[in-house]
Amino acid sequence: MNKVMSNKWIIALYVLPGLLLISVLIFIPLILSAYYGLMKWDGIGAMEFIGLENYINAIQDAKFWESAFHSFLLALFSTLSLVIYLAISIILASKIKGSDILRKIYLIPMLLSSVAIAQLWIKIFNPSNGMLNSILLGLGVENPPAWLAEPSIVLYAIFIPILWQYAGFYILIYYAALKNIPESLIEAARIDGATPFQIAYKIKLPLIMGVVKVTIVLAIVGSLKYFDLIYVMTGGGPNGASEVMASYMYKLAFASNDFGYGSAIGFLLLIITLIVTVIVRKATATKEEIQY
Amino acid sequence: MKIKKAFATMFVTFASVLLVAGCSSSDDNANKDGKKTVEFMHLWPEGSSKQHNKIVSDIIMDFEEENPDVKIDLEVLSNEQYKDKLKVLSTSNELPDVGMTWAAGFLEPYVNGDKFATLDDILEEDLKDSFVSGTAEAYEIDGDTYGLPLELNIATVFYNKAIFDEYDLKEPETFEELEKVVKTLNDNGVAPIALGNKDRWTGSLWYMYLADRIGGVEVLNNAIDRSGSFEDPALIEAAEKVQNLVDMDAFVKGFNGLSDEEAKSMFMSEQAAMYLIATWDLPNYTTNEDVPQEFRDSVDYFNFPTVDDKGDMNSFVGGPGVGLFVAEDSDVKDEAKDFASFFVQEWGEKSVTDAGVIPATKVDGESLDLPQMYVDVLDDLNAASNITLFADVQMSADVAQVHLDMIQSLFGEDSTPEDFAKEHEDALSTEE
């Protein structure tokens, strides 16, 4: 085996299929979309080179920044919700009754497709027949809001299913990480008289910090490029109140027939996500890595 | 070690073969047995448009029977997916040989990009004089026709007679009467009008009718084709009337977050009394066996009322729906054109009898046994003084998006009527 791996040609050969695939599917389209961003193009007819006009327009486009703001809000909420997921995982990972079945229940939303989730929540949010408003009416709330129709509420209403959708995923990751902590460490802390809260905060959390950092990056990047539920549930409406960067890009390219501008927005989306990722990695970097 | 090396080599070869195979094109139009394949794409999946879907299958079967050397290769997508896929396919020059398109603004970029073939030859031979006037013209750009219309629709207000009778209401003929109906229904706790304005073109129908009644048939068309202005007082007044209706709670709660499908299901489950939609929905109120007979019997329709004694109740918002195109770079253009022409002719008969929708080809209403409401709509069509094409179809895609977004914002009372008009004017004038 070592002999095979020491041959550079063999290594190259092994890497080649993956590299080819990733180039064809990711890197080449990426460069192409940056290039299309330089064009005035309706996606159908001939292209016309217009230089950086699309990019300059995008930077001055109030609607784009509004959608970017919505994306960042989503990123903020997803990151904050990680705390809740972590707390749930710590409870699940301690030996409580039924933690096995609870863990599976939390995972169910992840097994559903986004469109199914969207349909489910559209029904829940229905202003006159929906489950949510029926419960509110039953509780005596007069005139409960039309969740997906009011510009001031719609964004937060959609955040709920989005966060719900991914809760199971993060709980699963945290759970696995917590299960990896050697029992002896916790046992030792307990003998020294640490409270369960101290154990969680001073022992468990630092030990899985590496995983936590990864989930923060995942949550932020995932939020910034988020698309599915927004597209199905409101299409970015009413009048852009729930628009995020990806849905705005889609709308420009496919509904307004402006592929050049849409590509430019898409490329900016990539740049923004890249910058944020770098910042987050820098901000959460620690010199010492705690080992067990 | 050698074995491992051999495995590795094999794997790489295998992977490359897969990759190459994936890239190579697989559309050879001439099969081994000499059959030609015509690719056809439509947007009536079995689930949501059962009758349409069945008619298409029947037509394809008939065509293949008459032309044994041609095979139709079918692909079906639902409306929005269809639009997206069509765009992507045209970008990579792989349009199906025959497919469906919309008129005017949707058609234009495809024609300018030389993607669609002109169909003047078919129109002058096989299909001469078979279309209702004004329908094929909507697919005309610079004197050439690029689409064969299939449907013809007009929007009317459908209403639930049972609910109207219960509160002793009459079909409103003026806007004031409509407002009274709305008020009575609201007082009795019945939602007056089902509207799914998440889809936005639904609200646009209301706006267009108000504009037509207040300003006459030309004012909106003129604003769009730039011989007039969108800041015309009539267009602003129409926007005010929309907000009057919203203030009266004329539309169901949360309409801006509801899709047209949801609004329709509210109307069909008798939770709302009125519903403005185009006649493509006729089967639901006449022949569709999946809808309870009792409900179908209790639905009737009225033309949009006049406003302040202005407007003509025989002027409609509507126009041709989808039409067939033939791809310009099709390898089997002749067969594709034959198929398109065959399709339109058979569709003209079958859509009336089997689906109960109104085709763009002329219908002989006398000789067929048709539901009463269908006959009424045909009569209205014959008596129509004008049919204004749906605004979002008339406009270019870019402006249409502004229009649709502003409709949502107007109905949601986020914009004043003046802003509404100004945004339109700005968008339209940058296009000039």
Average pLDDT estimate for A248-264:
91
Phi, psi dihedrals of residue B156, rounded to the nearest 5°: -140, 165
Closest CA to A88 of A65, A107, A110: A107
With CB atoms and an 8 Å threshold, state whether A146 touches B257.
yes
Using alpha carbons only, give the angle B60, B62, B66 rounded to the nearest 5 degrees.
Answer: 115
Contacts with B272 from chain A: Cβ below 8 Å? none
With CB atoms and an 8 Å threshold, state whether B87 touches A148.
no
Closest CA to B156 of B4, B18, B296, B281: B281
C-alpha distances (whole Å) from B1 to each of A5, B15, B17, B122 are 11, 21, 24, 69
pLDDT of amino acid A271: 94
Contacts with A239 from chain B: Cβ below 8 Å? 405-406, 408-409, 412, 414-415
Q: Beta strands of B161-312 (E only): which ranges?
A: 191-194, 272-278, 299-302
CATH 3.40.190.10 domain span(s) along chain B: 36-152+320-363, 153-318+387-431
With CB atoms and an 8 Å threshold, state whether B398 touches A234.
no
Phi, psi dihedrals of residue B68, rounded to the nearest 5°: -60, -15
- Which chain A residues touch B if contact means CB-CB below 8 Å? 1, 3-4, 10, 13-14, 16-17, 20-21, 24, 42-46, 122, 125-129, 146-151, 154, 234-235, 237-240, 251, 254-259
Query: Which residues fall within 8 angstroms of residue A242, CB to CB, at 6 or more apart?
Result: A70, A154, A155, A158, A230, A233, A234, A236
Please tell me which of the candidates A1, A44, A255 has its beta carbon nearest to residue B110.
A44
Q: Are A212 and A82 in contact (CB under 8 A)?
A: yes
With CB atoms and an 8 Å threshold, state whether B405 touches A239.
yes
With CB atoms and an 8 Å threshold, state whether A43 touches B91.
yes
The segment with the largest mean pLDDT, out of A252-261, A277-286, B250-259, is B250-259
In order along its 432 residues, chain B shows pLDDT tens digits of 455 565 555 555 555 555 554 444 444 444 556 678 999 999 988 877 778 888 999 999 999 999 888 999 999 998 878 988 998 898 888 899 999 999 888 888 899 888 999 998 888 887 777 888 778 888 988 889 999 999 888 999 999 999 999 999 999 999 999 999 999 999 999 999 999 999 999 999 999 999 999 999 889 999 998 999 999 999 999 999 999 999 999 999 999 999 998 999 999 999 999 999 998 888 888 888 888 999 999 999 999 999 988 888 999 999 888 899 999 988 888 899 999 999 998 888 888 888 788 888 887 766 677 888 888 888 888 888 888 889 988 898 889 999 999 999 999 999 999 999 999 999 999 877
CA gap B99, B86 in Å, rounded: 9
With CB atoms and an 8 Å threshold, state whether A254 touches B16.
no
Contacts with A150 from chain B: Cβ below 8 Å? 254, 256-257, 412
Please tell me which of the candidates B4, B87, B257 has its beta carbon nearest to residue A148.
B257
With CB atoms and an 8 Å threshold, state whether B408 touches A43.
no
Chain A / chain B CB contacts < 8 angstroms: 128
ipTM for the whole predicted complex goes beyond 0.95: no
Q: For the CA atoms of B272, B274, B279, B282, what is the dihedral angle to 10 degrees?
A: 50
Three-state DSSP at B200 gives coil
Burial class (CB in 10 A: 0-12, 13-18, 19+), A101: exposed
More confident residue, A10 or B21: A10
B153-318+387-431, CATH topology level: D-Maltodextrin-Binding Protein; domain 2 (3.40.190)
Q: Is B168 left (phi over 0), alpha (psi -120 to 50) or beta?
A: left
Q: Are B389 and B138 in contact (CB under 8 A)?
A: yes
pLDDT of amino acid B29: 47
Q: Are B138 and B150 in contact (CB under 8 A)?
A: no
CA gap B125, B225 in Å, rounded: 32
**DSSP assigned state of B257:** G
Amino acid symbol at B356 = G
- Residue of chain B whose alpha carbon sits nearest to that of A123: B262
What are the tokens at A59?
């930077």
CA gap A167, B106 in Å, rounded: 41
Phi, psi dihedrals of residue A211, rounded to the nearest 5°: -65, -40
With CB atoms and an 8 Å threshold, state whether B1 touches A147.
no
Q: Are B200 and B263 in contact (CB under 8 A)?
A: no
Q: ω before A127 within 30° of 0 (cis)?
A: no
Query: Which residues fall within 8 angstroms of residue B240, CB to CB, at 6 or more apart?
Result: B417
Q: Are B390 and B401 in contact (CB under 8 A)?
A: no
Residues in chain B: 432
CA gap A249, A266 in Å, rounded: 6
Amino acid symbol at B165 = D
Contacts with B409 from chain A: Cβ below 8 Å? 238-239
pLDDT of amino acid B132: 81
Domains of chain A are: 60-284 (1.10.3720.10)
Q: Are B146 and B98 in contact (CB under 8 A)?
A: no
| Residues A113-166: tens digit of each pLDDT | 999 999 999 999 999 889 999 999 999 888 899 999 999 999 999 999 999 999
What are the tokens at A190?
């307990």
Burial class (CB in 10 A: 0-12, 13-18, 19+), B102: buried
More confident residue, A146 or A4: A146
Please tell me which of the candidates A1, A125, A257 has its beta carbon nearest to residue B398.
A257
CA gap B38, B60 in Å, rounded: 11
With CB atoms and an 8 Å threshold, state whether B8 touches A149.
no
How is domain B36-152+320-363 classified at the architecture level of CATH?
Answer: 3-Layer(aba) Sandwich (3.40)
pLDDT of amino acid B3: 55
Cα A271 to its chain centre, rounded Å, is: 16
